[in-house]
Structures are given as C-alpha cells and as structure tokens.
Structure 1
C-alpha cells in the first residue's frame, strides 16, 4: 500500500506517518515547512528526516510527478493553514492553501487514479451552532475565514465525488492534543500554551472566565479513525470527537496537578485575544469585539455516533491520561530548548 501524506512534518501528519509506517505502508511525505518542523519527524524507532519532500500542495507539476510515479492508493491531506488569526490576517493565503491546494490534490488524484482522498477538516465550522452535540449533516455556515476555507474545500470534495465517482472522507477534527503539539507557535493551541507557561513557572493568561468548554480528541485516537476510514466509499464527513467537553479551568487544574504546580491563572479581556495580530485591529473595518468574544466563549460538543456506527471507532484516551502524555513530551522538549 502506497500512501501520500501532506503536512507530514506537522503535529498530526507526523503522528499519522509514524503509525502507517509501523503498519507497513510505503509513504510519500511532503511538507513546505511553513508550519512543519523537522523535530516532528524524529521517533525512537525511525527517522523520516531523509524521506520528507519539501513541496507545497499547490504545486501542480510536483504533485503530478509524485502521482505519476505510480500506484498511490491514498492521499491524506493534512497540510493547511489552521491557526484562526493567521487565516484572518491573510485570507487570500488561507484560501489559496486550504481550498486551491485541496483542489490540486483532487484533480491530480482524479487523473492518476487514487483510491481515496482523506481531508483534514475541522469542527470549527460548527462555530454558529446552538444545539449540541453537533452532528455532521445539520449545521449553519461558519463566519470566520478558517472554517469557511474548510467548508468550501469540503464542497469541492463532494463535487469530485458526485462528478467523477471519487471517494473522499472529510474528518472534522475537534481540538486535537497529544505529543508534539506546537508549543512554540506565535499563538499556541491552548493545551500547549498552558503546559509551556506552567513549565516555566509563569502565570498563564486566559481569556474570559475560563468556564468555556470545548471537545478535545487525543491524537492517537484521531489516527486510528483516520486509518479506519480508508474503507469508506463515496463522500462522507465524520466528526473526530470525544463527545465529552472540558472547561479551560478544569484542564488547567488537571495539568497543574500532574505538573505539581500551584500557579493561579489570570484572565484577560476578550478584546485582547488576538493582540499579537495588530493588523486585525487596524484599518477602516477592524475585527468586531463580539466576534472575538464569540470565538473565545464558543461551546463545542460533537456527536461521534457516525464514527462509531460506520467505522466501529470509539476514543480510548481520556483527558487525564492524554494530558499526562503530552506534559511528559513537551517538558522534555522545553528542557532542551531552555528559557523561552
């Protein structure tokens, strides 16, 4: 079995690559390293550092050449611009990568006969829902740039399935956490930021009151489902979710206990949420405070019945065990980096 993984040097792509490699798959790994890191490609039992191909998913000829070489069964499109403020700051780039890049893979996959494309999508497209848990086939169109790019990418996937008879599954990730989560990003994911600040004995600054609740999924559980959906035919969208949610304060309490830290968090006003992206606050039409408040206080809880019923998948890693594993990995990384 030959499998192409885009975004293979990222947090999720590298974990998927490692599992598929252990399962005996022949891999084609690509990443343009705008977000990916070579460190993610190093595992105790294998290094992918000399196997990764530096390539952008928008490269028509490059992707075509890789598929022409023959017999690629599956493409996992994990590449993309995911941080919400990055997408808001440069919407043209976000659309170009997340939408046009996906279409490039679909078109080349159509020409050269892949069995299936699996797209990394997002539960962020449920940002305007008011009924929970959210299900795959009934939701309001999103507002922000990032979830809209994934929403549109899914529509092109559906188009290729209906028009050409291709097979595509869109995996709508909940908030993913696990070893190698990016704690060095300009605005890291919450789990990474929380662990980093605790490690350095700094006071973390959260927004709102810390009672906002999100649905999280451990990366190993995600990878298991990503492999199971290889078998599905036609077009499908699947929530990759635990169907359990936790508040910021609850997760901070768990992490503090595991790390044996007693640091009281501080809370900032919603309006400062993306202050590291000043362009969003400038211009004739700055970002609305109510949009920031909505994003910060957004409640997420995703139904995972479809994944259970169709693919026989259930999440196995609970929050306490998952955070324990992430903390162990991230603390080892931070100890090598020194003060940041």
Structure 2
C-alpha cells in the first residue's frame, strides 16, 4: 500500500509516519509539507519519501497522488487565535487546500481521502457531549475553514462516488507537539512553563473543558482507516468522551511532574469554546479494536519526551 500524508512533517503527521513504519513497515509512505508549521527534522530516522511543497501546488499534488492508494490529509494552518489574527491564510490552506487535494486524488483515481476536521466546527453549540449530528456554528475563521474541509470531503462521496472519511479532531496532544511559539497548544505550553519554573498562563477561569486525545490513539485510528478503507458519508468525532477542564489538567501535570506549579489568569481569548466533549460512540463503532490511551498515560509519555528533548527539562 502507498499512502500520501499531507502535512506529514507536522506533529500528528510525523507521528503517523512513525506509526506506519513501526506497525506496517511494508507500507510506502510519502509526505508533502511546506514546513510552514512542521519541521523536516520530525522525520529524521523514519522511512519516508519527503517532498517539500504546498497543497496549493496542483501540479505537485497531481504527481504525488499518481499510484497512491489512500491520502491522509493533515496539511493545514492550525490554531483558532492564528485564524482570528489572519483569516485569509487559514481559508486558503484549509479550505482551498482541501479542495486541491480532493481534485488531485479524484483525477488520479484515488478513492479514499481521509481528512482532519476539528471539534471547533461545533462552535457556539452548548450541547454536551457532542454527537456528529449536532448542529454546527463555528466561532472562528479556523472553525469555518474546517467545516469547509469536511463538507467538501463528504460532498465528493456523493458527487463522485469516492469513499472518503472526515474526522473531527479534539485537542490532540503528545510527544512531538512543539512549544515555544505564539500559537502553541495548551499542554506543551503548560509543560514548557512548568519546566522553566514560570507560571502557567490560564485564559479565563480555567473551567473551560476539552476532550484531550493522545496522538498515538489518533495515529492508530488513521492507519486503521487507511488500511481497511473505512469510509462514511457523515463525520466521525475522533475522541472518546472525556471531559477535562484546565484546572484538572494542571492537576494531572503536577502529578506527572512530581511538584506543584504556579498559575496566572488572563482574559478569555476570542473564539475560544467553553466546553468540548464527544460522546465517543461512532469512533468506537467504526474502530472497535482500538483502545484509547488515557490522559494520565499520555501526559506521562509527553513529559518524558520533554525531558529527553529540551535542555531546560533535563
């Protein structure tokens, strides 16, 4: 099998390459990444064919889709705050980029494109837990672009007979998730501050909750979906129904670090969702063999990666 991973030098993409190498060494893995948010070094030591380029380059996409069995489309500009600051790049990469990937796959006869949507599509919907059939109302340009990502992908099933799959990711975390930049995710941002002895910055009261999902679980699902050709005309929440607020998360971090941390509170960020939780039903129905990694174990492995990777954590 030959799998093309867009955004494969990023956090999730590079973990997915490693997962394929480890569990399916016979699978040929090809990566395209423009390195705008990913790093070539994330693929060091892995067996992969790497192409530096953009999903806005239709000719490059066409050449890479030729002879490919499945595309896992992770290439995007992430981050709600980044999209609020600059909405047009998020739209171009996430919405137009997805359309380009789908068109390249269709032209090459690739039946399955697996895409990463986001829990941010639910936006202002207060329902908890979230089901895939709950109404969507994005609160940020990022959420809108991800709703376009999944809508285009599933429309291609109806319009062209493709066998695509759209996952809504919920706060993926784990080893390889970079800290040290303005739009870093909350867990690496918290860990960087904790290891440096700095206060953890909490936006708002800290009671905002998330369904944190370990990257190893995400990669196991993505690889299984590509290998078995799993498809659906409706999106699937890639999360298992946990509900952890930031204050509880800090408690888990303290337990794994072995010491208390200092916190400071600031204003709530524009576009942030108050609560996010999947009901976890469809993911378990489609992927019954996959056992999700717990938050505690995932944080422990992430802490270990920090200690091995960063001088300030040693």
In structure 2, the partner of 1:321 is: 297
Structure 1 unaligned blocks of 5 or more: 274-291
In structure 1, the partner of 2:258 is: 260
Q: Is the 8 A contact 1:307 1:314 kept in 2?
A: no
In structure 1, the partner of 2:188 is: 192
State how far apart, in whole Å, the 1-side matches of 2:251 and 2:287 are. 34
State how far apart, in whole Å, the 2-side matches of 1:160 and 1:187 are. 32
Q: TM-score, normalised by structure 2?
A: 0.93
| Offset from partner CA, 1:294-323 (integer Å, 9 cap, x none) | 61x611111111111123155431111110
- For residues 106-125 of structure 1, the aligned pairs below 5 Å read 106-125=102-121
Residue 174 in structure 1 maps to residue 170 in structure 2? yes
Q: Is the 8 A contact 1:15 1:223 kept in 2?
A: yes
Q: Is the 8 A contact 1:212 1:298 kept in 2?
A: yes
Tell me the CA shift for residue 199 of structure 1: 0.4
- For residues 61-76 of structure 1, the aligned pairs below 5 Å read 61-68=59-66, 71-76=67-72
In structure 1, the partner of 2:16 is: 16
- For residues 21-40 of structure 1, the aligned pairs below 5 Å read 21-22=21-22, 23=24, 24-40=26-42
> Aligned pair in 2 of structure 1 residues 313, 304: CA closer, same or farther (>3 Å)?
farther
State how far apart, in whole Å, the 1-side matches of 2:71 and 2:197 are. 42
Give the SS at the match of 2:76: coil
Give the SS at the match of 1:235: coil
Identify the match of residue 246 of structure 2 among 241, 248, 267. Answer: 248
| Offset from partner CA, 1:220-248 (integer Å, 9 cap, x none) | 11111112223224533110112011111
State how far apart, in whole Å, the 2-side matches of 1:313 and 1:143 are. 34
Q: Is the 8 A contact 2:94 2:145 kept in 1?
A: yes
Q: Is the 8 A contact 1:171 1:226 kept in 2?
A: no
Q: Is the 8 A contact 2:154 2:165 kept in 1?
A: no
Q: Is the 8 A contact 1:118 1:171 kept in 2?
A: yes
Residue 312 in structure 1 maps to residue 288 in structure 2? yes
State how far apart, in whole Å, the 2-side matches of 1:121 and 1:215 are. 15
State how far apart, in whole Å, the 2-side matches of 1:190 and 1:313 are. 29
Residue 3 in structure 1 maps to residue 3 in structure 2? yes
| Offset from partner CA, 1:194-213 (integer Å, 9 cap, x none) | 10001011111212122221
- For residues 82-101 of structure 1, the aligned pairs below 5 Å read 82-101=78-97
